Structure 1
Amino acid sequence: MDIHELRKHVEALRFTPQEPVRWLAPKELTRTAVKVALAAMFADYSDKREIQGALEAGLLRAPLADPGAEEIWIDFVADLGDGFEATASVASALAADRLAVAGPAPLPRGSLLVLGGDQVYPVASTTAYEDRMKGPYRAALPSAPDEPLMVALPGNHDWYDGLTAFLRVFAQESPIGGWQTRQTRSYFAVELPQRWWLVGLDSQLGSYFDDPQRRYFETHLSPRLRPGDSVIVCSAAPTWVKSGEEPDAFNSLHWFDRNIVRTRFDRTTRKREDTGASIRLWLTGDKHHYARYAERLPDDGPGADDALPPDPRRRQMVTCGLGGAYLAATHRLPKALPLPPATSRMREKDDPPPAFALAQQTYPDAGESRSLARGIAAFWSPHWLPRRNPGFAVLTGVVHMVLALILCGAFALAEGRHNPVDALRAADGDDLLGLLCTSAALFVLPFVIGWWTGLLRERRPVAPSGPVVVVLFQLAVTTAALTGTVAIAQLVPSSWNGFMFLAILLVVAAVAGASLGSQLFALWVLWTNHGLVAEWQMSGQSIDDHKGFVRMHIGRDGRLTLYPLALDGACRDWDLDEVADTPAAWTRPVPATPQTVRLIEEPFVIARHGQGQPPPAPADPAEDAV
């Protein structure tokens, strides 16, 4: 059965399966804008992280069932609480006891599940968490004898209610199905086997590290780090990718590396001392794709864009936000990253900065990413903007009806008439030609502006962009609708009631706006190559296939192996399975057919710090400033 059939069994399921969020629907645009504004106010005046300083918090250990284990399997998934089919498909793969993957032997389920942010969309609330995250994950793993640990860090969507619902769900030590929660704050440190550590940071909408969070890591992490220890840092966003456009984006993570991991403050000597530990892996979501940056080593030779061969000595930066939300593009990712960049305003930073290069394999790959992005303007595509966001088509239709009335009044004044209906009736061939030329000019003008601007700035023509362009496009459509109404007015008897002409105008404007207006808006979005509007190319399509997660293994030899996994298609057919081994029986959805999971790229290994690789540049003993 599909999602619509499942929704008939809400009482038995104990949650309501949800459709993917339509990000360009007027309702979602308005609601999200309001929540973003409110979240900014919380960030400025009511930082929940400061309040969390009063909560008890300690060091976590994994696996829960065997704290003395010499190896561990870990799962990382992010951006998961969107449409049911995608979220539940990933959750079912995560919950499988052993996951069959082409190539390696079946991979055991993780004893530790890390949720990397944005556990719910579009905004956080208790009901939204229940329907979009807790329900699907509880159904995927109702119980587990090994009690896998679940830890979560908040993303921007978790912060849109000030973190209230997040703390209720993840910080009260309540189980979610078979997964056990133990954290009491929105950040955590987990001790792992073989001298590895997992750290989850709460950057609160890109803000600095609050004092309670800093003191938590100075108390529970830094004093325990010993020479050769290795750290996995999970953050809510891949700030390293933004460092090219925002030189200070990586500052907070670099400060954490230098002042918490690589050095610590000795209260006895009142000086900073080296810990001998190192961050070996940065792991994040937020961007709904898979991409990996590998550290360039001194013996790699020149050339920042070269494909780097596998080498366990390399530190890695991995983005994997494929847990359930819409797919994001990869073809605009920078090829090389010096971190932090030379233009960063940090007072103390590594010099020279370590360089990282983009690995060849992304998901989706660059070619497929470009092809998928074009779907927003392809009217034959199931992901065409007005087809995927019907509310947007309605909105553009209404906007064009209003614009048509305004233009009709302006046309009447230009003709020297006070009654718009009389102006429509009296219009002749010259008026029709004038309106047609005006519509064509308004449509061509954005291209002229774009090409001319490109020649001035970049010495080459560029596609039209900017808000003025989209306004001109919509005025061109409305003028075309008025032109069509004038043409119709010349074909119908003059005895018709005047209101019929206005009705014709409104109908023509609504149809033209909903179809042609939406199409021109989609083309404008497709032509834009940076910023928020460029992100609408994918978010406007709400593609709920192409999902995945990262499974990791710390072996007895101390090496960390990463298996990036993909589900090319979300499950669309579900069966109902009764869960009887609980105090009250309930029903859960399970995939009707086995899911196919494959490797995105070959597994790669990260050696523990000190296993054959040169140490990172030592941090300056002086206090760093962000």
Structure 2
Amino acid sequence: MNVRELRKHADELRFTPQDPVRWLAPRELARTAVKAGLAAVFADYSDKREIQGALESSLLSAPLKNPGAEEIWVDYVSDIGDGFDATSSVAWTLAADELDVGASLPLRRGSLLVLGGDEAYPVASATVYEDRMKGPYRAALPTAEDQPLMVALPGNHDWYDGLTAFLRIFAQGRRIGGWQTRQTRSYFVVQLPQRWWLVGLDSQLGSYFDDPQRRYFESHLSAGLLPGDGVIVCSAEPTWVKSHDEVNAFNALHWFDRNIIRTRLDRETGERVQTGASIRLWLTGDKHHYSRYAERFPGEPFGDHEPLPPDPRRRQMVTCGMGGAFLASTHRLPTSLPLPPSTSRMRQKDDPPSAFARAQHIHPSEQESRSIARCVAKPWSPHWLPRRNRGFALMAGMLHAGLFLLLSFVFALLQGGGSPVAAVRRSGAGDLLWFVGVGLVVVVALLLSRACSLFLTRRRRHPARASALTASLAQIAVALTAMLTTAIPFPRSWPGWGVLLVCLGSAALAGAAVGSELFALWVLRARGGAVAEWAMSAQSIEDHKGFVRMHIAPDGILTLYPLVLERICRDWDLQDVEDHPAARWRRPVPSSRPAARLIEDPVVIARKVRTP
């Protein structure tokens, strides 16, 4: 049965399965905009991280069941709380006892599950968490004897309610199926076997680290670091990639590296001393694809066709936000990153900056990413913008009906007043054609003027933001063309309001189809920013989901396995579950479990840094 049929059994399931969010639907656009604005207010005036300073804080450790274990398996998944099919397919794959993907050993289920942010879409609330995250994960793993630990970071969608629901779900020690929660704040430190540490940072919508968080990491992390310790840092977004366009984006993470990991304050001398520890792996989600940047050693050559050879000494930066949300593009990712950029405003930064190069294997590949993105503007594709977002097509149609009325009244005023239909009948089709022609010439002239302005100012050299003016002019051109329907020789017996309704309908249809198509082409034209991301979010592609599984071996070597499910499950059965004799419920079970495969060869990372 599909999601719609499963919803009929919501009482038995204890949650209501949800469809994927349609991000360009008018309601979602409006709601997300309002929540984002409110979140910004919370960030400035009601930062719950400051309040968390009064909560109990502790150092976590994993695995819970066997604290003295010499090895551990860790799972990382991010951007999970969207449509039921995708989220549950990933949850069931995570919950499997082990996965056979052709690696040198079977990949066992993680004793630690890290949720990397955006656990609920489109905005956080108790109900949204229950239906989009807790329900699917509880169904995938109702119980587990090994008591795997679950820790979570808040992403921007978790912050849209000021972090209220997030703290209730993840910071009160409650179980989510077989997974155990233990954190008490929106950030955490987990001590792992073989002198590895896993850190979760709450950067609060991209801003600074608050004082309680700083003190927490100084006490529970920095003070315990020893020379040769390895650190895994999980953050809410890949600011290392953002630094390519925003030079100060990586500053906060670089500050954390310099002042918490590599050095600590000596309380007796008041000076900073070296810890000898190192961040070996950065992990994040937010962007719904897989990409990896590997450290480039000084003097090491690198080219687009000459990827860096594997070397366990390299630090790695990994983005994997494929836990359930729509697939994102990869073809605009930079190939090389100096971190932090030399032009950043940091007073204390590495000189020369560390250099990272993009790995050869990403998902989706650049070619596939471009091909998928273009589907938003292909009318024959099932992912065409108005077909995938009917609410957007309706909004575009209503907008063009309004533009038609506005332009028609302007034409009537130029013709001496009266209703638009009467003005056309009185003046004839020739005058209407003249009005539409002049309007189109003005639109084209403005577009050419803007193109010349961009050329002369050389802004075309930079990752250009799509111009709202260009999009508006294109829509006006469609509305002007739709006005030609009033020149149709309607029978004189037709009342004016009847003719007007037919013309409004024609304008609405043109806006829904042609207007949406022009909007899709405008989105594809964008070279960066939020508008460029609409090419993928508008399609809400559910396939191509995945996560990262890691293994820390007894010799201290960390091996990273990036996994992808090319196809998710869309057909489910119901199964009875017994928690205890007095409580029964049912859970959705995949009719056939999706197959996982490796995106690239396992990535080996040594804990101890040695100079090449």
Q: TM > 0.5 between the two?
A: yes
State the SS of the aligned residue for 1:548.
strand
Match of 1:595 in 2: 594
Contact 1:223 1:264 in 2 (8 A): yes
State the SS of the aligned residue for 1:314.
coil
- Residues 177-218 of structure 1: per-residue CA shift (max 9 Å, x gap): 000000000000000000000000000000100000000011
State the SS of the aligned residue for 2:288.
coil
Match of 2:365 in 1: 365
Of residues 559, 562, 573, the one that matches 2:560 is 562
State the SS of the aligned residue for 2:504.
helix
Q: Pairwise mapping of residues 251-400 of structure 1 onto structure 2 (< 5 A)?
A: 251-298=251-298, 300-301=300-301, 306-400=306-400
1:228 aligns with 2:228: yes
Matching residue's letter, 1:92 = W
Match of 2:469 in 1: 468
The structural deviation recorded for 1:473 is 1.2
Match of 2:99 in 1: 99
The structural deviation recorded for 1:441 is 3.4
CA distance in 2, matches of 1:110, 1:208: 31
Matching residue's letter, 2:400 = H
Contact 2:436 2:483 in 1 (8 A): no
- Residues 360-410 of structure 1: per-residue CA shift (max 9 Å, x gap): 111001000001110111111111111111111111111111111111111
Match of 2:569 in 1: 571
The structural deviation recorded for 1:449 is 4.2
Q: Pairwise mapping of residues 50-65 of structure 1 onto structure 2 (< 5 A)?
A: 50-65=50-65
State the SS of the aligned residue for 2:223.
helix
CA distance in 2, matches of 1:75, 1:217: 22
- Residues 50-95 of structure 1: per-residue CA shift (max 9 Å, x gap): 0000000110000000000000000000000001111001001000
Larger mean Cα displacement after TM superposition, 449-458 or 118-127: 449-458
Root-mean-square deviation (CA), in Å?
1.8
Cα distance change of structure 1 residues 101 and 471 upon mapping to structure 2, 3 Å threshold:
same
The structural deviation recorded for 1:609 is 1.7
Contact 2:429 2:487 in 1 (8 A): no
Contact 1:577 1:590 in 2 (8 A): yes
CA distance in 2, matches of 1:176, 1:318: 26
The structural deviation recorded for 1:495 is 2.3
Contact 1:305 1:357 in 2 (8 A): no
Contact 1:117 1:286 in 2 (8 A): yes
The structural deviation recorded for 1:514 is 1.0
Match of 1:417 in 2: 417
Match of 2:608 in 1: 609
- Size of the aligned set, in residue pairs, is 610
Cα distance change of structure 1 residues 578 and 248 upon mapping to structure 2, 3 Å threshold:
same
The structural deviation recorded for 1:303 is 5.6
Match of 1:164 in 2: 164
The structural deviation recorded for 1:447 is 5.4
1:431 aligns with 2:431: yes
CA distance in 1, matches of 2:302, 2:91: 43
Match of 2:143 in 1: 143
Match of 2:522 in 1: 524
The structural deviation recorded for 1:435 is 4.5
Matching residue's letter, 1:543 = I
Cα distance change of structure 1 residues 258 and 128 upon mapping to structure 2, 3 Å threshold:
same
- Residues 125-180 of structure 1: per-residue CA shift (max 9 Å, x gap): 00000000000000000000000000001000000000000000000000000000
Match of 2:249 in 1: 249
State the SS of the aligned residue for 2:194.
helix
- Please report the TM-score for the alignment, with normalisation by the length of structure 2: 0.97
- Residues 268-307 of structure 1: per-residue CA shift (max 9 Å, x gap): 2222111110000000000110000000013624669841
Match of 1:505 in 2: 503
Cα distance change of structure 1 residues 526 and 587 upon mapping to structure 2, 3 Å threshold:
same
Contact 1:289 1:320 in 2 (8 A): yes
CA distance in 1, matches of 2:466, 2:229: 50
Cα distance change of structure 1 residues 460 and 125 upon mapping to structure 2, 3 Å threshold:
closer
Q: Pairwise mapping of residues 131-210 of structure 1 onto structure 2 (< 5 A)?
A: 131-210=131-210
Match of 1:110 in 2: 110
- Residues 222-281 of structure 1: per-residue CA shift (max 9 Å, x gap): 111001100000000000111122111111111111111111111122221111100000
CA distance in 2, matches of 1:398, 1:460: 34
Matching residue's letter, 1:206 = G
The structural deviation recorded for 1:486 is 1.8
Contact 1:35 1:123 in 2 (8 A): yes
The structural deviation recorded for 1:438 is 4.2
Matching residue's letter, 2:480 = T
The structural deviation recorded for 1:33 is 0.5
Unmatched 5+ stretches in structure 2: none
Contact 1:442 1:472 in 2 (8 A): no
The structural deviation recorded for 1:595 is 1.3
Match of 2:14 in 1: 14
State the SS of the aligned residue for 1:585.
strand
Matching residue's letter, 1:495 = S
Contact 1:451 1:460 in 2 (8 A): no
The structural deviation recorded for 1:104 is 4.0
State the SS of the aligned residue for 2:74.
strand
Larger mean Cα displacement after TM superposition, 439-448 or 346-355: 439-448
Matching residue's letter, 1:518 = S
- Please report the TM-score for the alignment, with normalisation by the length of structure 1: 0.94
CA distance in 1, matches of 2:137, 2:92: 8
CA distance in 2, matches of 1:232, 1:218: 16
Cα distance change of structure 1 residues 472 and 552 upon mapping to structure 2, 3 Å threshold:
same
State the SS of the aligned residue for 1:433.
helix
Contact 1:92 1:140 in 2 (8 A): yes
Matching residue's letter, 2:32 = T
Matching residue's letter, 1:602 = D
Match of 1:618 in 2: none
Larger mean Cα displacement after TM superposition, 342-351 or 95-104: 95-104
Matching residue's letter, 2:592 = T
Cα distance change of structure 1 residues 124 and 302 upon mapping to structure 2, 3 Å threshold:
closer
Matching residue's letter, 1:614 = T
Cα distance change of structure 1 residues 413 and 185 upon mapping to structure 2, 3 Å threshold:
same
Match of 1:621 in 2: none
The structural deviation recorded for 1:457 is 3.8
Matching residue's letter, 2:448 = V
Of residues 512, 534, 537, the one that matches 1:536 is 534
Query: Structure 1 runs of 4+ off > 6 angstroms?
Result: 459-464
CA distance in 2, matches of 1:67, 1:100: 26
CA distance in 1, matches of 2:159, 2:445: 42
Larger mean Cα displacement after TM superposition, 82-91 or 382-391: 382-391
Matching residue's letter, 1:588 = R
State the SS of the aligned residue for 1:194.
coil
The structural deviation recorded for 1:428 is 2.4
State the SS of the aligned residue for 1:247.
coil
- Residues 531-587 of structure 1: per-residue CA shift (max 9 Å, x gap): 111111111111111110000000011000000000011111111111124341111
CA distance in 1, matches of 2:259, 2:124: 32
CA distance in 2, matches of 1:305, 1:161: 45
Match of 1:622 in 2: none
Matching residue's letter, 2:380 = W
State the SS of the aligned residue for 2:562.
strand
> Identical aligned pairs, as a percentage?
65
Cα distance change of structure 1 residues 211 and 219 upon mapping to structure 2, 3 Å threshold:
same
Contact 1:439 1:480 in 2 (8 A): no
Matching residue's letter, 2:611 = P
State the SS of the aligned residue for 1:66.
coil
Matching residue's letter, 2:399 = V
